[in-house]
Structure 1
């Protein structure tokens, strides 16, 4: 029975802190206090890779993550006040028979107070290394499949969830697997918006847009390296994707602009809240409502084919249940990119060696390796994008919407040096040319109030603030006098409606309402434009130039949609649109 009373829960938290010295892991502590069956079933072994029983027992005793968050509130960073969609499993961080780790450490550099915790590090063998486990793999394949379904979706980001929901609604039975202990992929981190042309939200706001303009913007942003057929699918279906999400409960009524767009088309929740976590939450809710089988801590290892080369299933490895195979008529790869794998990134683009990444820790490129082993063709792998505004302090990506809503970029000398809403590659290159390879996003209180996402940055304590610009410069390390002159000049451009310095197209507001803020940023690897070659139906193309029967792919694991450079706001549109297409096409392929 859950201990609802906060004093009882607080007592358990206190007991944890008092007994750290006596135990080096949580299993020892719980065995001393309550016995092994406080966590485990009668078998004393995990029953599934989600650790459903173990996590359920955690919540029964300590409360859910929201209750625990209330007890662990702090001035800035509350590790239990998660920004992840859904309810992250306790075992994502709290290990039992080995030292615990803090999953947040995989991205952030804040200090976290967690009993029995060590610094998070990935100890994950590559797909090539797993190939050496031939005896275990052969033994698993010699057995009957542990599960049988119509379609297996690999990846729980926006593309994977969109594919799973769309395939289910087309009549297919679906299993969704995810190698991480949490859902959402990179989508849960996306903040700026979801590009769409000719949407109902645009019409309601009096915004005139056209699919052809979105196509031109996307091709121009990608330096015409994009596959025109894929760009056409993206743009033609973009408004339909917004409507599809809206029908499932999404709020995409706020429309702004991101770099490279010539029209306001970046859709996001009312008030400018982060779009990615919201979209994933809506998709998760709908997947749960449809009772879709979701398996975490489960890696795709090998696509299985029949004698004719068509998909017949997938070999997987569960973190707790080991190797087994799933019988399926189709597999959809939605595993995301590889920005978190700097060795792979640097091999393709040496100038990015050693760069931080904005991605979630699972973005290592597994999906590309699994696809390559199935003879899938690749394209555009050399095109890797750095996001220009990654916070120097804390390891937080700062959404492009901050600039879109009126912030400017200045260097330590207090000078603007670039059109703030140019394409990401140009903005990143310009920042790296400044002293110390970083710059500052400067904005006022009106910009802060225009975008809910900014509140999170302020709460994290990474944004210096002052009542006037000279004082702000002193706090942030910027020439305050020069900054004041720069802001005055910029405000004059806003009044005139024309940026005489850098030809910035949108000038949404002057920076006049104190207090003022400065956030230090530097580029970090953000998006990998290349990946698996697909056609307009998302069918994976083989190295022989023919489609691999039953194999589909969607999202950042694919190449061709964005060319040499992705426009901000096109990622969520990409993953939802092509995820839907993949789910529908896979269902059609198997005869549903």
Structure 2
């Protein structure tokens, strides 16, 4: 498990591998396992002191359609609906070929995880989806840490080499194809030869420099990203001629607690299990499970540019992450809604009236105010009541390296850069102008597996 996982000693770093994978998030670890199981020698290189990257911060779940898990929960879904809803939610700017590959390989990705004893047996819903597609552990634990912990257990069992801290500074090319990487280890440069390289370095949500270049309007926003999400893979790829695409498409997450020095993303599952958003007057102002873009804009448009998530014990029982939010001091609690309103400085009558109106909407399954149709399985009526103060923050970068659905990296002329693959948030195109909650974890597994398979095919053909 993650707490016991020991990276491979640097002394064992070899000069030659079939595949070097840059980044140890879910994309990199999935690609490593897949390539290793197909007979490749693999090394995962991580620059940070902690393994797992931004995946560690994911909380809601992994989207997939037409799974056996859904059927066990009585959900009859359709992959075509998943495609069309994701395409619509992405402003119809998604790469259609990538999106098609993605949606049709989410159910096999759930099965692949289960084959590795990683079980996501519970389901919830996220914004922009019409069905419960968001798979998560039966314990309802946050998906990110759970996934990294269990992927590392597989990595350890299969004795796949993972090295840290190792910073990749350049990609090497020979005879028109990628031939390895240049790295820095404790201030010492070293060259590692490889038949192919997979970039799984994540996005640039923690890079003020890149945000200022492409989205200066977001430069002063706080971020949910871990400090290492600085766009390293983009720079490495650009150096060898790769094309970047849709770099101005940056997602702002609507529900982020920012009152403390540490920023905490409040997962979409809180709303998916029934929480509502209210303004400073204690009134709802948006369909809480609309797309992240729409909900974020609605919060930003409020005079105070922030809002409160309101929930009860019944919702808390369905989202174990709330226990963590409470432990770190993010949750205001009270035995009654009136007492909660007093703690928040909100008009008690307004808040009570808002929740009563919402509970009637849940009972009739008709939200006359804002047309919400999901996350309406339970009313807000069970003490204790809770609230978390939230505001939007930079969360996800939809743009990135231009790749094919086979994860091959393309140059500015649309030609494949031989031996270079990219997957996960470092790659652009899949999400359009708005990523749906639960699709990023699905992307890490679907395209991590694809990268592991395609790099194996490439190396077999090269021999």
Q: TM-score, normalised by structure 2?
A: 0.95
Counterpart Cα distance in 1 of 2:344 and 2:148: 35
Residues 225 and 272 of structure 1, relative CA distance in 2, 3 Å threshold: same
Kindly indicate whether residue 433 of structure 2 is the aligned counterpart of residue 567 of structure 1.
no
Counterpart Cα distance in 2 of 1:378 and 1:433: 31
Counterpart Cα distance in 2 of 1:312 and 1:535: 20
Counterpart Cα distance in 1 of 2:2 and 2:57: 10
Please say which of residues 294-303 and 329-338 is displaced more in the overlay. 294-303
Residue 289 of structure 1 and its aligned partner are, at CA, apart by 1.1
Secondary structure class of the residue paired with 1:149: strand
Secondary structure class of the residue paired with 1:329: strand
Counterpart Cα distance in 2 of 1:517 and 1:312: 55
Kindly indicate whether residue 458 of structure 2 is the aligned counterpart of residue 589 of structure 1.
yes
In the TM superposition, what whole-angstrom CA distance separates every residue of 1:97-119 from its partner, at most 9, and x where no partner exists? xxxxxxxxxxxxxxxxxxxxxxx
Residue 427 of structure 1 and its aligned partner are, at CA, apart by 0.6
Counterpart Cα distance in 1 of 2:225 and 2:149: 18
Secondary structure class of the residue paired with 1:447: helix
Instruction: Determine which of 145, 148, 153 is the counterpart of 1:285.
Output: 153
In the TM superposition, what whole-angstrom CA distance separates every residue of 1:196-243 from its partner, at most 9, and x where no partner exists? 001111111111111111101110110110000000111010000011
Instruction: Determine which of 142, 148, 151 is the counterpart of 1:274.
Output: 142
- Could you tell me which residue of structure 2 aligns to residue 330 of structure 1? 196
Alignment of 1:65-214 (within 5 A): 85-87=2-4, 147-214=15-82
Of the two, which has the highest radius of gyration?
Answer: 1
Counterpart Cα distance in 1 of 2:236 and 2:124: 38
Residues 271 and 451 of structure 1 are in contact (CA less than 8 Å); yes or no, is this contact kept in structure 2?
A: no
- Could you tell me which residue of structure 2 aligns to residue 48 of structure 1? none
Residues 345 and 88 of structure 1, relative CA distance in 2, 3 Å threshold: farther
Kindly indicate whether residue 168 of structure 2 is the aligned counterpart of residue 251 of structure 1.
no
Counterpart Cα distance in 1 of 2:115 and 2:319: 24
- Could you tell me which residue of structure 2 aligns to residue 535 of structure 1? 404
Secondary structure class of the residue paired with 1:368: helix
Residue 347 of structure 1 and its aligned partner are, at CA, apart by 2.5
Kindly indicate whether residue 257 of structure 2 is the aligned counterpart of residue 391 of structure 1.
yes
Counterpart Cα distance in 1 of 2:187 and 2:14: 11
- Could you tell me which residue of structure 2 aligns to residue 5 of structure 1? none
Residue 418 of structure 1 and its aligned partner are, at CA, apart by 0.4
Secondary structure class of the residue paired with 2:87: helix
CA RMSD between the two structures: 1.5
Counterpart Cα distance in 2 of 1:146 and 1:582: 22
Which structure is higher in RCO with an 8 Å CA cutoff and minimum separation 6? Answer: 2
Counterpart Cα distance in 1 of 2:155 and 2:61: 22
Equivalent pairs, count: 453
Kindly indicate whether residue 343 of structure 2 is the aligned counterpart of residue 426 of structure 1.
no
Secondary structure class of the residue paired with 2:304: helix
Residue 440 of structure 1 and its aligned partner are, at CA, apart by 0.2
Residue 471 of structure 1 and its aligned partner are, at CA, apart by 1.0
Residues 445 and 516 of structure 1 are in contact (CA less than 8 Å); yes or no, is this contact kept in structure 2?
A: yes
Secondary structure class of the residue paired with 1:328: strand
In the TM superposition, what whole-angstrom CA distance separates every residue of 1:159-192 from its partner, at most 9, and x where no partner exists? 1001100000111000100110110011111000
Alignment of 1:436-455 (within 5 A): 436-455=304-323
Instruction: Determine which of 342, 347, 351 is the counterpart of 1:479.
Output: 347
Q: TM-score, normalised by structure 1?
A: 0.75
Instruction: Determine which of 276, 279, 283 is the counterpart of 1:415.
Output: 283
Residue 410 of structure 1 and its aligned partner are, at CA, apart by 0.2
- Could you tell me which residue of structure 2 aligns to residue 125 of structure 1? none
Residue 396 of structure 1 and its aligned partner are, at CA, apart by 0.9
Runs of 4+ aligned structure 1 residues displaced above 6 Å come to none
Kindly indicate whether residue 203 of structure 2 is the aligned counterpart of residue 317 of structure 1.
no
In the TM superposition, what whole-angstrom CA distance separates every residue of 1:36-56 from its partner, at most 9, and x where no partner exists? xxxxxxxxxxxxxxxxxxxxx
In the TM superposition, what whole-angstrom CA distance separates every residue of 1:52-109 from its partner, at most 9, and x where no partner exists? xxxxxxxxxxxxxxxxxxxxxxxxxxxxxxxx9434889xxxxxxxxxxxxxxxxxxx
- Could you tell me which residue of structure 2 aligns to residue 522 of structure 1? 391
- Could you tell me which residue of structure 2 aligns to residue 226 of structure 1? 94
The runs of 5 or more residues in structure 1 that have no matched partner are: 1-83, 91-144
The runs of 5 or more residues in structure 2 that have no matched partner are: 8-12
More strand by share: 2
Please say which of residues 506-515 and 571-580 is displaced more in the overlay. 506-515
Alignment of 1:227-242 (within 5 A): 227-242=95-110
